[in-house]
């Protein structure tokens, strides 16, 4: 709404109602278009029709550099358990529903005979939100206005993503030098080294964490950010209650976006639901997941969420190595908004 110079409106009844500029300002809404007006954008950088964005930064040289970080051969899988009816999910989604469609009960009841020779087998089925566990988001998963990544129409998301789907990322894969930034251990508290709820992680926090770890962030590194948040979900202590809406996470700033752009960061993963803090105050206004718009829609940076980082973090704190070969390939869910993934870190 443009309010400059606005002094009156015509009501449906035909009565002229005066509006002061102050009253009109009350109707103003925070605008991602305004916030992102001078922010970095990678639209068109890799040609028309590009669907993997900043993952284009990851080529053979980056893979070889990542392989060079492997010293011990230790491996860490970074997906949270997929347990029927349980697990941290973003509000509005439900945890994985898992059912046995065939098992010993059918054979024992006489409803099913073994195969010739006596072999039996089980079968199962799952219903799940594709972002209901550790997952990778397609670039068109988040947007603002009427355009998704690359300038394609937001209409392309209807009944499946015709552009920027996670299947394209599944074809490309995510392979590169991962760097763990254990912000929870550096700035958190308690024996579990966690950030407090509602903590904003800024660029200075990332830099300070890297310095404390003795870690150098290289151009085209994949950032893996530990807050300590997700592990709280499985705690038994009543004072450690996990709340999706108060999780700590990255917070928007022009400086952060510029830094990510200059370093050509291809992807960011974290042990929370959104990588970023869900609700943020920017210039006195409330924004919800603004970095999804800035990073995915404008810069093509791939986001991946709900990672299990406790074991990797403990090992890195012990041996001082925070860089590793990272391999993560989401399922090739054609036209999907997101897809489960079980990333592997190799040290």
Q: Are 139 and 303 in contact (CB under 8 A)?
A: no
Which token pair is 214? 């003795």
User: b/e map of 178-194 (b: 16 or more CB within 10 Å)?
Assistant: bbbbbbbbbbbeeeebb
Q: What's the pLDDT at 16? A: 33
Q: What's the pLDDT at 102? A: 97
| Distant-in-sequence, close-in-space partners of 169: CB < 8 Å, separation ≥ 6 | 51, 52, 55, 136, 138, 139, 302, 330, 339
Tell me how far CA of residue 72 lies from CA of 75, 324, 342, 344, 347, in angstroms. 9, 10, 21, 14, 6
Other beta carbons within 10 Å of 345: 25
What is the rounded CA–CA span in Å between residue 274 and residue 295? 12
Q: Are 308 and 331 in contact (CB under 8 A)?
A: no
Q: Are 260 and 206 in contact (CB under 8 A)?
A: no
Q: What's the pLDDT at 13? A: 35
| Distant-in-sequence, close-in-space partners of 157: CB < 8 Å, separation ≥ 6 | 140, 143, 148, 337
Q: Are 232 and 188 in contact (CB under 8 A)?
A: no
- Angle (nearest 5°) at CA 194 between 191 and 197: 135
Domains, the chain, in order of start with CATH, read 1-30 (no CATH), 32-90+131-346 (3.50.30.50), 97-127 (no CATH)
What is the rounded CA–CA span in Å between residue 296 and residue 247? 20
Please report, in angstroms and rounded to a whole number, the separation of the first and last CA atoms in the chain.
Answer: 53
Q: What's the pLDDT at 242? A: 86
- Angle (nearest 5°) at CA 201 between 228 and 195: 30
Q: What's the pLDDT at 30? A: 67
Q: What's the pLDDT at 238? A: 64
Q: What's the pLDDT at 189? A: 86
Q: What's the pLDDT at 160? A: 97
Which token pair is 262? 């200059």
| Distant-in-sequence, close-in-space partners of 251: CB < 8 Å, separation ≥ 6 | 200, 201, 202, 276, 277, 280
Q: What's the pLDDT at 237? A: 77
- What does each of the 347 residues of the chain score in pLDDT, given as a tens digit? 333 333 333 333 333 333 333 333 334 456 999 999 999 999 999 998 899 999 999 999 999 999 999 999 999 999 999 999 999 999 999 999 999 999 999 999 999 999 999 999 999 999 999 999 999 999 999 999 999 999 999 999 999 999 999 999 999 999 999 999 999 999 998 889 999 999 999 999 999 999 999 999 999 999 999 999 999 999 987 667 788 899 999 999 999 999 999 999 999 999 999 999 999 999 999 999 999 999 999 999 999 999 999 999 999 999 999 999 999 999 999 999 999 999 999 99
Helix (H, G, I), strand (E, B) or coil at 226: strand
Q: Does the pTM exceed 0.95?
A: no
Which token pair is 117? 């020779």
What is the rounded CA–CA span in Å between residue 59 and residue 330? 18
What is the rounded CA–CA span in Å between residue 277 and residue 134? 17
Please report the DSSP string for 124-141 in residue order: EEEE--TTSSSEEE-TTS
Other beta carbons within 10 Å of 66: 24
Q: What's the pLDDT at 239? A: 66
Q: Are 193 and 228 in contact (CB under 8 A)?
A: yes
What is the rounded CA–CA span in Å between residue 230 and residue 78? 12
């Amino acid at each position: 709404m443009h309010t400059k110079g606005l002094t009156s409106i015509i009501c449906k009844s035909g009565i002229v109602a005066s509006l002061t500029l102050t009253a009109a300002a009350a109707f103003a809404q925070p605008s991602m278009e305004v916030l992102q007006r001078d922010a970095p954008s990678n639209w068109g950088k890799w040609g028309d029709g590009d669907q993997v964005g900043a993952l284009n930064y990851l080529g053979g040289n980056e893979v070889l550099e990542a392989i060079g970080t492997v010293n011990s051969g230790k491996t860490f899988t970074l997906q949270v358990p997929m347990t029927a009816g349980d697990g941290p999910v973003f509000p509005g989604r439900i945890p994985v529903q898992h059912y046995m469609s065939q098992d010993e009960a059918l054979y024992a009841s006489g409803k099913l005979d073994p195969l010739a020779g006596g072999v039996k087998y089980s079968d199962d089925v799952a219903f799940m939100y594709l972002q209901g566990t550790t997952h990778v988001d397609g670039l068109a998963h988040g947007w603002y206005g009427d355009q998704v990544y690359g300038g394609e129409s937001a209409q392309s998301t209807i009944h499946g993503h015709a552009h920027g789907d996670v299947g394209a990322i599944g074809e490309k894969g995510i392979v590169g030098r991962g760097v763990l930034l254990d912000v929870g251990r550096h700035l958190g508290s308690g024996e579990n080294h966690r950030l407090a709820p509602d903590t904003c992680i800024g660029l200075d926090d990332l830099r300070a964490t890297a310095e404390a770890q003795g870690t150098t962030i290289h151009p085209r590194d994949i950032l893996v950010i530990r807050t300590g948040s997700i592990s709280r979900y499985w705690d038994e202590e009543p004072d450690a209650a996990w709340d999706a809406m108060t999780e700590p996470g990255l917070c928007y700033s022009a400086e952060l976006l510029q830094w990510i752009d200059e370093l050509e960061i291809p992807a960011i993963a974290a042990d929370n639901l959104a990588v970023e803090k869900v609700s943020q105050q920017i210039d006195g206004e409330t924004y919800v997941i603004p970095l999804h718009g800035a990073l995915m829609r404008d810069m093509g940076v791939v986001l991946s969420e709900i990672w299990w980082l406790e074991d990797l973090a403990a090992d890195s704190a012990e041996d001082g190595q925070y860089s590793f070969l990272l391999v993560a390939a989401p399922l090739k869910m054609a036209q999907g908004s997101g897809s489960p993934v079980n990333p592997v870190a190799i040290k």
